Amino acid sequence: MSVLVQGRQGWVLDARALIDQGYSRCIRVKDKARVKCCFKGQCFQISESHCSVNAGGGNVDVSQLKEKQLKKRKRKHSELNQGEVDVQAFHEKIRCVILEGTKSLVDSVQSLGYLNGVRDTVKEPLPSQECSLTALCEMAKELPLVDEEEQEQCVQPLVTGDGSTSHVDLFSRVTENSTDRAAVVTLMGEEYVIPPHTAFLLSDFTQIQPLVHYGRRFDLIVMDPPWENKSVKRSRRYSSLPSTQLKRFPISLLASPNCLVVTWVTNRPSHLRFVRDELYPHWGVEVVAEWFWVKVTTSGQFVFPLDSHHKKPYEVLVLGRYRSSADDNSASSSETSEVPVEDQRLIVSNPSALHSQKPSLAEVLKPYIGAEAKCLELFARSLQPGWTSWGNEVLKFQHTSYFTLTPADNRAVVSEDEATDKCTDKGLIAPELSLPREHSPPSHCPTSVE
């Protein structure tokens, strides 16, 4: 199960299960062996709140608490600056929604046996694969520009006819795995797991043209921009992007009429205001809702104190609808149905211990875009079945170091393949369309809570 509970306040997700459901059928290309891929469970095992002397509950980290107290004593007593005032005002505005909604959803899912504090029995350190994809994108800028004739051939298969991946151009062409199986492949000397029916482009913003030339209009665009902030500058985890640069993204060339645009926003009010008041209007996107991702421990407590002045246990998502101009695809726009999006919904889940890994939104957004919608993720660090993804770290969390790979039961796979072959021979399934192209089909019916 990936959506554990669904209610009027929102959803409780199993983020790891959302990843794993795309790898139920997987093949290692180099030796044609069937394997079972599971994202490592220790990445989603945050069992204790970072501090418990708070309104949200949890356990005390005494050393961190003392260090913060010392810093507060050293700090001169002064009035809050405008940014801090804005943060507090926004928090007070949504506090009851977060507190009451989370309690209701967590109580509901705990009654079903989830978020009960049980941890994975496998005790292994977190994967620590050093990502060099950004540096490779920088190096790719030195390559000759693709001419107009080559731009028309902007798509390439992940695996060539002879089973090779050695000549795949990841930086100037969109790469597709159009099969119904995930594939473990070697790219740039490293092994990656690529989901079925997925497409991706590894590049930075200056080399985004192949995505535009891809020729698709998307019904859903999700983005997690690398917002500028002091923490990122200190840690140097990734290169941030000035907010003004986001306006240059060619949303009008990528979005279909009434496309749902979803942007992850940090808790800085200046970023939220920028998205609502500048970025979306510049793109022709109308704000329709604000949602909140609430991060809880394996026992259902907030991972940070709800009223913490340092970090909040939630992040904001701004949802909007792309409104094309009157003369732009007016016919298709009038035929496109639009499902209203409810405001102030919560997405509750255990967060990943890996930096900047967000939960998949595929299942919770499906009712608002339809099961057959074309979906795009910008600034992606992973891939999703049925989606197109772009970013300069687009394969980061697809590296095999983040997965447990075990041999699959080949007998079951052979039986399944034989059944498919028989249907194909009888004309029941077209050879090139042996399975429908879908977006992460749910393997369950979530429990509804009113």
Tens of pLDDT, residues 313-344: 999 999 999 997 644 444 444 445 789 999 99
Instruction: Answer yes or no: is 420 within a domain.
Output: no
How many residues in total does the chain contain? Answer: 450
Per DSSP, helices labelled H in 111-250 are 133-140, 148-151, 209-213, 230-235, 243-246
Instruction: Answer yes or no: is 419 within a domain.
Output: no
Binned at pLDDT 50, 70 and 90, residue 345 comes out as very high
Distant-in-sequence, close-in-space partners of 175: CB < 8 Å, separation ≥ 6: 155, 156, 157, 158, 168, 199, 200, 201
Instruction: Answer yes or no: is 425 within a domain.
Output: no
Q: What is the pLDDT of residue 180?
A: 92
Instruction: Answer yes or no: is 423 within a domain.
Output: no
E-strand stretches of 178-313: 182-187, 190-194, 198-202, 218-223, 255-265, 285-295
User: In the predicted model, is pLDDT for residue 430 greater than 50?
Assistant: no
Instruction: Answer yes or no: is 428 within a domain.
Output: no
Q: What is the pLDDT of residue 303?
A: 95
User: In the predicted model, is pLDDT for residue 291 greater than 80?
Assistant: yes
Question: How far is Cα of residue 352 from the mean position of the Cα atoms in its chain?
Answer: 12
Domain of residue 56 covers 3-73+80-411+434-449
Q: What is the pLDDT of residue 146?
A: 57
Q: What is the pLDDT of residue 355?
A: 85
Q: What is the pTM of this model?
A: 0.83
Alpha-carbon radius of gyration of the chain: 23
Q: What is the pLDDT of residue 138?
A: 80
E-strand stretches of 308-407: 314-322, 346-349, 375-378, 387-391, 403-407
Compute CA distances 248 → 38, 168, 205, 242, whole Å: 37, 28, 9, 11
Task: Count the domains in the chain.
Answer: 1
Binned at pLDDT 50, 70 and 90, residue 51 comes out as low
Of 197-201, 300-304, 316-320, 443-447, the poorest mean pLDDT is in 443-447
What is d(CA 328, CA 343) in angstroms, rounded to the nearest whole number? 28
Strand (E) or helix (H) holding 13: strand 10-13
How does pLDDT run across 142-155, given as a tens digit for each residue?
Answer: 766 555 555 567 89
CATH number at residue 281: 3.40.50.150
Instruction: Answer yes or no: is 56 within a domain.
Output: yes
Instruction: Answer yes or no: is 132 within a domain.
Output: yes
Of 317, 256, 328, 248, the closest CA to residue 287 belongs to: 317
Binned at pLDDT 50, 70 and 90, residue 105 comes out as very high
Mean pLDDT, the chain, integer: 81
Residues 425-441, mean pLDDT to the nearest whole number: 34
E-strand stretches of 70-161: 155-157
Instruction: Answer yes or no: is 421 within a domain.
Output: no
User: In the predicted model, is pLDDT for residue 76 greater than 70?
Assistant: no
Give yes or no for a contact between 169 and 157, defined as CB atoms under 8 angstroms apart: no
